[in-house]
Structure 1
Amino acid sequence: MALTAFAVAAGAQDEPAAVGTTITLPDGRTATVQATPSPTPDAVPARELTPAEILAATSKNYPSGTYLLKSDRWSETDEREYGVFIAELGESGCATVNKCLHDPRNPFRGSDPPGIAFAADCADLPYYLRFYFAWKRGLPFSFAAEVAPRGHTRDMRYTAAGNRVEVRLNPAGYNGYAILDVLRGAISSATYRIHPELETPEEQDFYSPVLTPAAIHPGTVIYDPNGHLATVWKVERNGRIHYLDAHPDYSVTRGFYDVRFVRSSPGMGAGFKNWRPQRLIGGKRQADGTYTGGTITLAANKDIADFSVEQYFGNGPRPAEDRDWKTGSFTLAKETVDYYDFVRGQMAGGTLLFDPVREIGDMVDSNCADLHYRGDAVDLAIAAGLPKRAEPDRLPPNIYGTEGDWEAYSTPSRDARLKTAFKELYDSTKRFLWMSKRGDAKLAYKGKNLAGDLLNAYDAHAAQCQISYIRSNGSKVAFGYEEARRRLFDMSFDPYQCPERRWGAKGEELATCADGKNKQAWYEAEKYLRNQIDRTYEARMDFALDELKAPGPGKGVAAPPETDVRRWLLTQPGGQAAIKARQPGKEADKRKHWWWPL
């Protein structure tokens, strides 16, 4: 994987490494420094550079901050404190990578000079945070600088058989800010797409941990083979795993682990990943306490106490072949459960227990937060002027895995994850009622009307959710959670379309949209893609408008899945009873209901 030399985004502290500067490489060749990648990377580099070349040629052009090794290994205390560092960033509520690392909860923020701007997308962020901590603490950090596919692929981010590590790089002695920029160029989701048992030709940066509370903790990384990465920042006592993640616009969002993170064949390396222990061998300790020279080695799977492949094959007998991974089973408290229940139960200490009323409320809150995160992404596209540009003649080769403006400003992947979460809420509601009817011991509910209580919780939390956006004429539109759900599959992922269409407007609300007939035709033609919640990265999607109008592979599905929780609950006797209980009565009756008024 080759790279371009980029200038760091660092105000007045920068040395003369401005865009356009010619740098001399160790072998005498020259290259031109390009701008730090932004959400609209239009520049084409004059030539590509390896990570080592960038470090050697550009470290002197950054603010002072040499990465020096002060220890030859990470101790247990270092690992715990890294977890605290991640947990603090998660708790901070920071909304961008830059704000996270400038937040008062970052104990190292005072060591960064004024003007430094931090930026990382979803794949970069785990490496970005791990190296930042290692740099500030003087701990060993080497990384997989180049990966190669195992078999043919048009895009290493989605290789069917996964990838392998070809080159590792130890950046000790170079400028830390330069290393952060190099990581942004060297790391992609392809870096994570490695079979958990593959250790050649070079060791990978992560290992697959056993699914226990001791092994899954703040700092653990989660890889979705559909091309998304997240970092665990909290695990609740009930087993719910909270993560933070970044996006192409460098925003940071939060959520909890569920079916949005799909399982896949072991070769794709999906799931939970812990950082592989590293150790400096043969380094010479200097008078100032720092180390020079030596080689960083990584622990092998056989030497890691909590290494396990159970997340791929189950906790029973291992299937004979990798291709049979789906036949592996998961058993919790002598009961066979699905993978996601197994994870949840294991994180709760081996007991799977759902508080259904809280679960539904939390899921509504999470969906509301994701709607707001989506709004931020749409606003960025509008601010960048994408709706004023002409619609391209064709869609990208694949709308979910692309680059350039489409990657930075479109939302098909984000929207698919959001729609999956809405469907999961619907499915969970039905499941909890089914569990209640069976008297399932895994349901922590002592009330007498579960359907009614779920409906009350749903409505109460939905009532706290308000979405708004600015129409093309500058007027503001606001609506609630249920209206957002009704619009969900009408919300355009296409960044070239007006804000009204991005938010699924119809009728009078749509009248202010400035899109012409061509964009309107594109919006209509993309409806089947909007109906699809499964992200199909292997599908060809570079269709012209006329091609997209006809059904076919890669063009979406005819109808969206069901998400109307409220309507389904109202078909249950308890749901109707809850509605009747809300009828106006005595003031004392109104005050005793926490959900009143709705």
Structure 2
Amino acid sequence: MFSKAHVLLILLCSSLSVSSYANSKKPLAWQIKNKTWTKSYEKSYEEFIASIGKAKQAGVCHTTSDCIKSPVANPQFYNLNPDSLMDVFSDCADLPYILRAYFSWMNDLPFTYPVELTQAPLKTAEADALMKQLDDLYIQLDKAGMIKKQVIKRQIKELRKKIYGGSGVDIRYNSGGNKIVSKLYIKNGDNVNKVLVDVANAISTATFRTDAANNTTTKLFRDTYPVAITKAAIKPGTVLYDPNGHIAVVFDVTKNGKVHLIDAHPDNSLTAITYGEKFSQTNVEIGGGFSNWRPFNVETGEVQAATNEELPDYSLEQFERKKPFEFNNVQMSFHEYVRNKLSQGALIYYPVTELNELMEEICHDVKEREMAVNASLAAGIQNQNHPDVLPSNIYGTDGDWESYSSPSRDARLKASIREGRQLMQKIIQGHKDGDKNVQYEGTDLEGELQRTYEASASKCTIDVKKTSGGVQTLTLNTILKNIFKLSFDPYHCVELRWGLTDAESLKSCNQSKEKIEWYNAEQGLRNLIDRDYSVKMDYSLRELPSMPLSKTPEENISIVDVLN
């Protein structure tokens, strides 16, 4: 993390060097002068991402644009930013492509991104034959005249119906993955402002939901490839895809194997998080997990992408689905396996340090949630009438619900708390059993952990500006005790968003009886930790209580009762 002295030093150096760059701002028109993504460019990209991430972690910037336009977060290119560089919107899926596009533009490199995907066909002999016909039609389409193109497009449409069917499945969450239909390649003269907007409009999490084993090297190559779980492979710039609909970018891997990431959200905020069980392991067909950018070049005027065999860190290791994984003959979860593999030397747990870091991360997540809730309140969503039905799935939708609700954010927070509890249980039991990987030199581990928790929880606070006026300060301990009461629903008042359901808070909330009924009916959804995008959720208020959801909060999620 940046120290204050480090931040001041960067600002000073930046201010001293502004004059030397004053007449050399980067033109908005893209120029592809360097036609190959070399190892030196990849190393520079790592440094760019590491700086952005550490600045975000230190609170220097709060959106992707903020970071790109910050001399602290972006010392490599800040002085080259033209005054006319627009602010860019970025949600989680856009983030890797936006950062890669910006870096490519700054370094006069080629850049490409998918603009059309479709649900991958079933892997049958009949589907294979139809796919060959479809590929042939796309080749003909490129060469056809205007009238012929219309005929071929109709043929393509009919053929795709036969291959993919008309299920209407949201391709962001389908079970079979997707296929890239077309990609766009940046040309000399393209305006970077337009490119960044077009990228944000084109990319979704569906873009990453493609077969990780794909070895296509033609124009339709997969932009990223899966990597081995090694310190050399997982580095700043590595993309992490959670098949439950979230993307993050690695910016640091610590000596004790913790993976730090940045991720973006529909409200345009940027957050700093760590890898853990909130990210799911997947099968290879939907391509989740850690991946790096596939290098390519346009030296000959044709696209030439590296094959899987040419990539030293290419691996399908993370798709082996071992249950459990093993490291040094010790069985563990996949997330523990990743941390052990990435640790420099044996992974040593220092209990108080682990708890302090855990509480800092949870506090950070709560502070980020506060910003998201405040953005929703500022937009006045809580004053609007509640929709008659919920979205088809609360975790993946669009519109105001996508921009201002927080079910996915809240689920990740609860998953982090559950994972933290499990880690503390493991450490405490390991200390009792004399585990050499748990190092504690004191005489009262549980007592010291309890005091550490109380100190951390009391100093982490948020101020809730109540609907009727006045401010109520909540400590982290209060928030964690109410974790299953926190409303994800943007149509609820601030009191309900923070789980304040006492008589005084409900009086301050002053919302309609119907909205209170919605809050009560959504308790089953609040009790969930693990997100499921396949569950139908578009129920009315009357139907919602009968949904087959968790009726009681998951037991043993609390961190503090492990320490008692």
Conserved? CA contact 1:222–1:232, under 8 Å:
yes
Conserved? CA contact 2:94–2:204, under 8 Å:
yes
Structure 1 partner of 2:207: 191
Question: Is residue 367 from structure 1 mapped to residue 330 from structure 2 by the alignment?
Answer: no
Residue 534 of structure 2, aligned match among 532, 535, 538: 538
Deviations 1:532-564 (A, max 9, x none): 1111100100000000122x33x4443333333
Question: Structure 2 unaligned runs (5+)?
Answer: 1-25, 122-166
Structure 1 partner of 2:77: 108
C-alpha distance in structure 2 between counterparts of 1:196 and 1:542, whole Å: 32
SS at match of 2:483: helix
Instruction: Pick the structure with more helix per residue.
Output: 2
Conserved? CA contact 2:36–2:299, under 8 Å:
no
RMSD: 1.7
Deviations 1:258-313 (A, max 9, x none): 1111112222211101000111131xxxxxxxxxxx12222111111110011111
Amino acid at match of 2:519: Y
Matches within 5 A, 1:269-280: 269-280=287-298
Q: What is the identity percentage for the equivalent residue pairs of Structure 1 and Structure 2?
A: 37
Residue 261 of structure 1, aligned match among 253, 273, 279: 279
TM-score (norm 2): 0.83
Question: Is residue 470 from structure 1 mapped to residue 485 from structure 2 by the alignment?
Answer: no
Conserved? CA contact 1:97–1:118, under 8 Å:
yes
C-alpha distance in structure 2 between counterparts of 1:91 and 1:474, whole Å: 37
Conserved? CA contact 1:140–1:296, under 8 Å:
no
Shift of 1:492: 0.6
Aligned length: 483
Question: Is residue 180 from structure 1 mapped to residue 143 from structure 2 by the alignment?
Answer: no
Amino acid at match of 2:115: A
Amino acid at match of 2:255: R
Conserved? CA contact 1:244–1:252, under 8 Å:
yes
Amino acid at match of 1:217: K
Shift of 1:335: 3.2
Question: Is residue 439 from structure 1 mapped to residue 406 from structure 2 by the alignment?
Answer: no
Structure 2 partner of 1:312: 319
> After TM superposition, which residue ranges in structure 1, 4 or more long, deviate above 6 angstroms?
none
Amino acid at match of 1:137: N
Amino acid at match of 1:536: D
C-alpha distance in structure 2 between counterparts of 1:557 and 1:77, whole Å: 54
Residue 165 of structure 1, aligned match among 167, 170, 180: 180
Structure 2 partner of 1:449: 444
Conserved? CA contact 1:415–1:493, under 8 Å:
yes
Structure 2 partner of 1:96: 63
Amino acid at match of 1:559: P
Deviations 1:324-368 (A, max 9, x none): x345x6332343432112211111135222222211111111111
Structure 2 partner of 1:67: 30
Structure 1 partner of 2:507: 511
C-alpha distance in structure 2 between counterparts of 1:343 and 1:254, whole Å: 19
Deviations 1:449-480 (A, max 9, x none): 22122212212221220121211123211111
Larger RCO (alpha carbons 8 Å, 6+ apart): 2
C-alpha distance in structure 2 between counterparts of 1:409 and 1:182, whole Å: 23
Residue 486 of structure 1, aligned match among 474, 481, 491: 481
Structure 2 partner of 1:566: 560
Deviations 1:227-263 (A, max 9, x none): 1111111111111111111100110100111111111
Structure 2 partner of 1:150: 120
Structure 2 partner of 1:523: 519
Q: Could you tell which deviates more after superposition, 298-307 or 525-534? A: 298-307
C-alpha distance in structure 2 between counterparts of 1:166 and 1:351, whole Å: 45
Structure 2 partner of 1:34: none
Q: Could you tell which deviates more after superposition, 175-184 or 393-402? A: 175-184
Shift of 1:115: 6.7
Deviations 1:183-203 (A, max 9, x none): 111110011112211235832
C-alpha distance in structure 2 between counterparts of 1:568 and 1:305, whole Å: 43
Structure 2 partner of 1:41: none
SS at match of 2:262: strand
C-alpha distance in structure 2 between counterparts of 1:432 and 1:354, whole Å: 7
Shift of 1:73: 0.9
The change in CA–CA distance for 1:271 and 1:115 in structure 2 (over 3 A counts) is: closer
TM-score (norm 1): 0.78
Question: Is residue 460 from structure 1 mapped to residue 455 from structure 2 by the alignment?
Answer: yes
SS at match of 1:493: coil
C-alpha distance in structure 2 between counterparts of 1:456 and 1:77, whole Å: 48
Amino acid at match of 1:310: E
Residue 421 of structure 1, aligned match among 413, 416, 419: 416
Shift of 1:64: 5.6
C-alpha distance in structure 1 between counterparts of 2:35 and 2:93, whole Å: 27
Deviations 1:10-30 (A, max 9, x none): xxxxxxxxxxxxxxxxxxxxx
